[in-house]
Amino acid sequence: MYVIIDFHSHEAHKDQATAIKFFEEVATKYGDNNNVIYEIYNEPLQISWEYDIKPYAETVIDKIRAIDPDNLIVVGTPTWSQDVDVASQNPIDRANVAYTLHFYAGTHGQSYRNKAQVALDNGIALFATEWGSVNADGNGGVNINETDAWMAFLKTNNISHAMWALNDKSESASMFTPGGDWDSLTASGTKAKEIIQSWHDANDNIQLDSDGDGIIDSLDQCENTPADTIVDSIGCEVSDTDADGVSDDIDQCPNTPVGETVNDVGCVLEVEEPQTDTDNDGVYDDVDQCPDTPAGASVDSNGCAIVSSTDCSDINAYPNWVKKDYAAGPYTHNNTDDKMQYQGNAYIANWYTNTTPGSDASWTLIYSCN
């Protein structure tokens, strides 16, 4: 089984030091396992590939490669990891790197497969580390036709992929119904099961796309479409005068300049200037009235520390951990929301941790102990 170690962030480039520390730790611990994959930036927002994402990725990749020289590294792409075509025009000059493609079949159709095809044609490797059969917000019904079209595209192009999500959360993208298990699948879970069971049937069940237009032969009503032609859902040419990837019949901005990133109706997406948070307290500098808040401190809306005093007698003192790695084992760590007191303060764990409370981003200071 492959394991993707994912830095699950929309703004990782703003906290490069934490990312480097995280990946140096996991590369040291797991880098000798050839089934480990590093995903260093899950879903960048609508930011610059050239000036934000790529410099961040090159730095983090180099830190990983100093420890682990060869395991696969996957890099997120702009606009929630959908603009793989943009990344392909200025790829990272490092070995064994792939680029993240995310899609939801209820929201993202042929225009996004066209972007992926451009990236493949430009010679970069893609990995769909998150996709769903429903809408991008995690709800809505299963879009069977688009899901099948995406699966054919992934299979034809040998693109590895991981579906969201193996849980029982009350949303359409979940595999299980709330409180359910393998015997109580949602519509999305049922579709996932069908895909998995049929992936390697006779002749690998590969549905060919002979003219490479992104529409499998069994659905293609216009065979032998010339290369790079934009087509509709049945494989026939559609006009795209400004070459922005959106056909003229739905393009609300028909004269988009070349190279601009556009939305589903062909209009330019505005890229917001990144805001800074120097002390990493979650409050941007332009409104932060306490710009030098210590790491891990809880803050109010003005960025100032909230520290109260309370009785901590029912909270374990470091290093008396509250969780075990296995039932018969020793207490070795805290999990998310587990508390621990240290040097007169109470902290809460942000995720699995066995570091000294308050020493890094895995802890948040919640109050002082009287």
Identify whether residues 336 and 191 lie together within a single domain: no
Q: How many domains does the chain have?
A: 2
Rounded (10°) CA dihedral 149, 150, 151, 154: 130
CA-derived radius of gyration, the chain: 24
Looking at the structure, tell me whether residues 201 and 331 fall in a common domain: no
Residue 311 and residue 317 in contact, taking contact as beta carbons nearer than 8 Å: no
Which residue, of 205, 233, 265, is where some domain finishes?
A: 205
With respect to residue 85, please indicate whether it lies within any of the assigned structural domains. Answer: yes
Between 81 and 276, name the one with better pLDDT. Answer: 81
Q: Which listed residue (43, 58, 223, 237) is catalytic?
A: 43
- Point out the least confidently predicted range of 49-58, 69-78, 302-311, 315-324: 302-311
Is it the case that residue 140 has pLDDT exceeding 60?
A: yes
43 is known as an active-site residue: yes
351: in domain = yes
pLDDT of amino acid 203: 45
Determine, yes or no, domain membership for 335.
yes
For residue 333, being part of any structural domain is answered with yes
**Per-residue pLDDT tens for 241-254?**
888 888 787 888 98
Which residues contact residue 283 at a Cβ distance below 8 angstroms, ignoring those fewer than 6 apart?
277, 299, 301, 302, 303
**Residue 282: inside a domain:** no
Cβ-based burial of 212 (10 A; exposed 0-12, middle 13-18, buried ≥19):
middle
Give the tens place of pLDDT for each residue, 308-345.
667 888 999 999 999 998 988 999 999 999 999 998 88
Of 178, 205, 232, the position where a domain reaches its end is 205
State the number of CA atoms in the 13 A half-sphere of 169 facing the CB: 10
| 271: three-class secondary structure by DSSP | coil
Residue 352 tokens read as 């699995």
Tell me, yes or no, whether 14 and 130 share the same domain.
Answer: yes
Catalytic residue among 39, 50, 130, 270: 130
Answer whether 339's CB lies under 8 Å from 274's CB. Answer: no
Rounded (10°) angle between helices 16-30 and 54-65 = 30
Q: Is 188 inside a domain boundary?
A: yes
Share of the chain above pLDDT 70, in %: 95
Asked if residue 223 is part of any domain, the answer here is no
Name the pTM for this structure. 0.57
- Domain CATH code at residue 356: 2.10.10.20
- 136 within a domain of the structure (yes/no): yes
Task: Clarify whether 24 is annotated catalytic.
Answer: no
- Three-class DSSP category at 341: strand
Print the domain residue range for 329: 309-369
Q: How far apart are the first and last CA of the chain?
A: 49
pLDDT bracket for residue 26 (50, 70, 90): very high
Pairwise pLDDT comparison (50 vs 227), residue with the higher score:
50
pLDDT range class, residue 207, cuts 50, 70, 90: low
